Every structure is written in structure tokens, then in C-alpha cells.
Amino acid sequence: MHRYADIQGLRALAVLAVILFHAGLPVPGGFVGVDMFFVISGFVIANMLIRERQKTGRIELRSFYVRRFKRLTPALAVVVVFSVAGAALLLSPLGSLQNATLTGIGALLISANYVIAGTTGGYFAPAADINPLLHTWSLSVEEQFYLGFPMLLMCGWWLSGRGRASRGFPVAILVAVGLASALLAFAAVVADPVGRVPPIAGGVTGRIPTFIVGTSFGFYGPLGRVWEFIAGALVAFALTRIERLPSASAKVFGVAGAAGILGSMWLISEADAFPGPWTVLPVVSTVLLITAGRVGSNVMSRVLAARPAVWIGDRSYSWYLWHWPLIVFADLLTGQDPRARVVALAVSLGAAMASYRWIENPLRAFPSRPLRRFIPVAAAILVVPLVLSAGTFAAARDGFANDGVRAYQAADSAHLGEASGCDTTLPLGMRDEGTCTWNGTAEGAPIYLVGDSNADHFSEAVLGAALALDAPLHLSTSTACPLFAGFFYRNDMSSAWNARCDEYRTGTIDFLLADATPGTVIISQVGIYWSSSSIRAGLSERDASTETSRKLHSLEGSLGAMVENLRAAGHKVLLVQEIPFYNYVDYQEYQPQLCSSFAMASFNCVGEIDLTTAEDQFQEVQRIYDHLGSSRAVDTLQLRDELCDVESCTTIKGGTIMYRDGTHLSVDASKRLSGRFEVALRDLRTANG
């Protein structure tokens, strides 16, 4: 294969951009290095195929795919083995470990991008930070391009040779496919900015078509990235014309390309829709730098062709493979110490050097003919990481046959609303009566459980009380969306989400006031909304504010009016005060999703705070509840005594893991509270006649 020194230097620039971004250094758009790689690959592969056809008159697909396998898979297989082994020691068996093992399988089977989109979620999502094989999504996209691109070219050349089209038909095909890919990708980000495809929970039945379409053009999507490869390929097809350009244009292309790349690294950030219109900047800039080197001598191409840049470029693939798992493991071991990331980068460069010398180069030179001798070698390369990944996944899913791990996995189970599809933005009254109603044939007055996810985590408790009281339970909760009669807008959510939240709030309140059979309305939700600067709220849009004191005043007015209106409609109302939280303030956080299997096996995955801290949490909201209780005789339920002792609160009590995460109870804990809800509801019925 023809080798260009400046192209290797361009690879060095691309890998440095990605690595600096992942290391947390001030390069907000460093992830565009991946887009640079895509353009470079398009140019290199197209140039290689063009030269092969010019030399032999044909393309040998078998040899092409074998070369790609030898170039990419052996080093990847070693990194997968290392990453899965490290993940088994450090990641949580509540999902992150399983995600890593599935990603390893996907990486080896050229589908890591789809696996990541369906499990870990968005590239910039918090869960992505602890997937040591997250970066393999781009390798799968590249390999998917390698699968289809040669056949696309062969089709174009075949048609040209048959006289059915002009000699430039392959180029016309590439231009058409590239334009279609770019237009569809840009349109996709309008509906799904930054490719934040939600993970598939509870199975994929009925979700597969939407999932495939969404991820095909989202951040991880191969179809939405094709145009980037084609941009590089078109440079290869235009080489003879490029080489005839005036030599002075090389300087212009070089300076413009370098400026565009540097601008991409600092003008683009993870807040921008990507891939999208902004992606044009790094793609075009990379094309300009490639073109500059083909036109003639220029400063930028000479810099890229310098020995240090070429040295890094030669090892860029291995460095890219090793840097991210080592950063992830360093973060897990040190609590995201920036100094540890720097050490991880140094270690990853050493690993890359070893991989390049003892894995990449030797296996690239390994004879692939006859094929029957190479196939067992290829199978051996794949079987170890695949078996390790699959075995670790199965063991993690079974809790490593350990009672402690299994107990934490059980505590991570979804509550009734989430598990039944009743924790949505669909208002009460518009939900499937059979799905979101329990004990529906009971003759007692109905119970309505409404609020956000902190209402859903009481669903088992309220159901137990409903069964004891012979009452039907209607469940209508919406995560991150409180039942608030007024204006409520989250700046950290999209306009579409806010519109759905508004529909839930107003629709649920309207149904309870006008159409619901009189019963008992239980309202539960967190108080973080009213202190968060990213949330604007008020009794009306005109008086909405992000200021805590003003929002708290609106909350008291909203709750007071809502209670009075519900009572006027014939309902009894119970307000559930917040439970102690293990997030949001400066104390030990409880994040079982970050606890290792070893910590769970010994029940050392625990959150603990002192009672004073628990009592001080969201005290402003609690004072509102207390004031409503005294001034309007509103019934409230305080459950802190069930979760704390006389000195402290912990996430494990009486042998039960009480919390699913830092802000939500476990299913078992909820069931333990059913007696308290039963007593509260009985007292409410008695007090109100």
C-alpha cells in the first residue's frame, strides 16, 4: 500500500485530539479527531483500491478483508481481554459490567456502535464514562464502511465498464450517497441532538425498528457517518487533478485546513448537535490538509510528515485502543484524579508501543495464504475475547453466584410504574386502565398515586395498603416532572420534554378535579427542583423565576390551592415528605452502580449520613409541608424514622438494602413501608369521615 508520511502525521493529530479530550484537558471539541480518522480512512482505502484496480484490473475482496482483519482485530482482541478483565474487577454488576462485556462482543463482531447505543446510551452520557470499551464504536463504524465501500466501488466500475454510464459513474455514486448521508444525518440530529439514544430497558419488543433507524443516523450511526468517509474517498479519485493544481494553493489549503482543525477543537463542544452542520468544519479541514500534501510542498504538510508526527501516527491505532480503558480504570481507582489520567495516558502510550511492536506488525506480516491455514489463526484471535466476554456477562448477570451481589441486583429492580410503563408523561386518565390500575375490582374508594419517580418508589408500599383496604390503586408518575399547578420549565431538558411534562401536570390535575372518582390522592416528589438554578417555576409564566425563595413561595401556593381544589372535588389528600437522600450535598454519596462485585459481596457498598444532615435536607420544602399541615390541616407522612436510627441513616437496615440508588428506595424497602401507608390512609379516612 502506498504510504504518505503526512497522512501518518494527520493520524497523529487526530489521535492526540481525542486523547486530550478524553483526558479532561481544555480541548472541548477534541472528539472531532474521530471524524478526522473517518476522512483519512476514506482517502486511504479508496486510494488503495484505485491503485489495485489500476495495477491488476480488479479488486480482490478476500485479500482486502483479510488485510483489514490482520490490521485491526489482533490488537483489538488484546484490548478487549484486558478491558473485560479489568471491568470484572472494578465495574458494578448492576449493569456497567454487563454493558462492557456486551461492548467487547460487539467490537469483535463489528457492531459495538449498536451495542453502545442500546445499552450505555449517549456518548456524553454519565454511564458512558465508565464503559472501558466505549471508544470501539468508531472502530465498528469504520469496519462497517470497509464492508460496504469496496462493493459500492466495484458496482460503479462494473457499470462503467458495461457502457451503461460514464467513466465517472463511481464518483457520481459516491457523491449521491454522500449527499444523502449528510442530509439524513443533519435531519436526524434535529430530533435527537448529540445522538443521545436512550438505552433499551425491559427488552426490545416493539422498539427494534425505531432503535435501528435512530442509531443508523445518530451519533453512533454508520449511515450518518458515510459522507465523512466519502469526503476522503473523493480526494483519492481526484488525485490526478489535484496534482496539477498550482503549487501555491498547497500553502492556502494547508493553512486553512490547520486553522479549521484547531478551530474545531475549541469552537465545537459536546453541547453541539453532532454529527450535524458543525461536523462539516473538521471534515472539510481534514480534506484540505490531505489535498495540501498532494498539491505540493507546504509548511503544514512538512510538519505532519516530520519524524515525531509520523512516529505517533504509526502507533495511533494502538494508542487509541489503549488510552480509554486505562483512563476509565484510573478514574475508578482514584475518584477521577486528573493526575491519574495523565499517568494513564503515559501508560497507554507504553502499551501502544508494545502492541505496535509485538502484535500489530508481526500479525500484519503473518501469511494469509493459503486461507485454510489463516482461518484457524483468525478463529484463535477471536475466540478468547469472545468467550471471556460472554462468560463474564453470564456470571455478572447471575451475581457471580454470590448472595451479596444478588441482593444488590434485586435492590436495583424497577418499581411498579417503571416496570409497567406507567412512569411516563402521559397524564392520569389517558393511561391504559388495565395496565396502570391494580386491584381494580375492589369496592373501596380509589387511591391515586401521583408525582415524580419518588412517588413511583412508594408504589409497592401503596399497593400493599390498597390491598389491605380493599381499594383500587391508580398509578400515574412521571420521572423528573413534579405535580405542580403553575409554570414549570427545566432548562436542562428539551422544549419537547418540557411540553410533555406540562401535559402530564395539567392533564393529571384536570382529571383528578373533573373526572376521577373521589378517593385518596397521594402526592410525592423531590424538592431539588426548587433549589436548582436550571429550573424556572412560578404560579404563572409571568412571575416564574430561578430564585429559590420565589420558587418555594410558588410551591406553597400551588400545593395549598391544589389540596383545596382536590378536597372540593371530593378527594382526601396525603402529602409524603421526602426520604433522606444520599446525593446533592457534600457527604458520602451512595452509588451502587459504581460499586464493584467485591464490595457488594461483603455488603460494603453502603451510604451513611448523620441524622442531623438528614433532617436538614431540603428543610425549606419540609417547612412548607409542616406549615400546610398546621394552617390547612393537610395530612403529611414522614418516613424518616423508618430509614434512620437515633444517630444516623444508612442504606442498609435490618438486613434489607433500602435504597436502589442515592435518591430512590428499593422494592423491598417500599414493601416494608406498606404498613405505614395503611395506617396513614386509615387515619385519613377516619379523620375525614
Neighbours of 370 (CB within 10 A): 8
How far is the CA of 615 from the CAs of 236, 433, 526, 611, 664, in angstroms?
Answer: 68, 38, 14, 6, 17
- Look up residue 193 and give its DSSP letter: G
| pLDDT band, residue 214 (cuts 50/70/90) | very low
- pLDDT for 79: 98
Q: What is the pLDDT of residues 17-43, one digit of tens each?
A: 999 999 999 899 999 999 999 999 999
Q: Is the pLDDT reported for residue 191 higher than 60?
A: no
Angle subtended at Cα 496 by Cα 493 and Cα 499, rounded to the nearest 5 degrees: 95
Phi then psi dihedrals of residue 449, to 5 deg: -105, 115
| Predicted confidence (pLDDT) at residue 68 exceeds the cutoff of 70 | yes
pLDDT tens digit sequence for 502-550:
999 999 999 999 999 999 999 999 998 998 999 999 999 999 999 999 9
Element holding 612 (H helix, E strand): helix 611-616
Beta bridge partners of 637: 576
CA distances from 167 to 61, 173, 178, 245, 542 (A): 22, 12, 19, 22, 65
pLDDT band, residue 584 (cuts 50/70/90): low
- The contacts of residue 333 (CB under 8 Å, 6+ apart) are 90, 340
Least confident of 302-316, 367-381, 435-449: 367-381
* Residue 477 clears pLDDT 80, i.e. is over it: yes
State phi, psi for 476 to the nearest 5 degrees.
Answer: -150, 95
DSSP 123-180: TTSGGGGG-TTTTHHHHHHHHHHHHHHHHHHHHHHHHHHTTSS-TTHHHHHHHHHHHH
Backbone angles phi, psi at 578, to 5 degrees: -70, 150
Domain residue extents for the chain: 5-397, 416-580+618-639+666-687
Bridge partner residues of 520 (DSSP): 447, 572
The three three-digit cell numbers of residue 57, written as one number: 484490473
Report field, pTM of the whole predicted structure over 0.85: yes
Run of H or E including 635: strand 635-637
What's the whole-number mean pLDDT along residues 270-284? 86
**pLDDT at residue 205, rounded to an integer:** 31
> What average pLDDT does range 416-424 have in this prediction?
92
* Mean pLDDT rounded to a whole number for the chain: 89
Report the topology of domain 416-580+618-639+666-687.
Answer: Rossmann fold (3.40.50)
- For the segment 429-445, the average pLDDT, to the nearest whole number, is 87
CA 368 to chain centre: 39
Whether 486 shows a pLDDT value over 70: the answer reads yes
- Give the cell for residue 378: 483468525
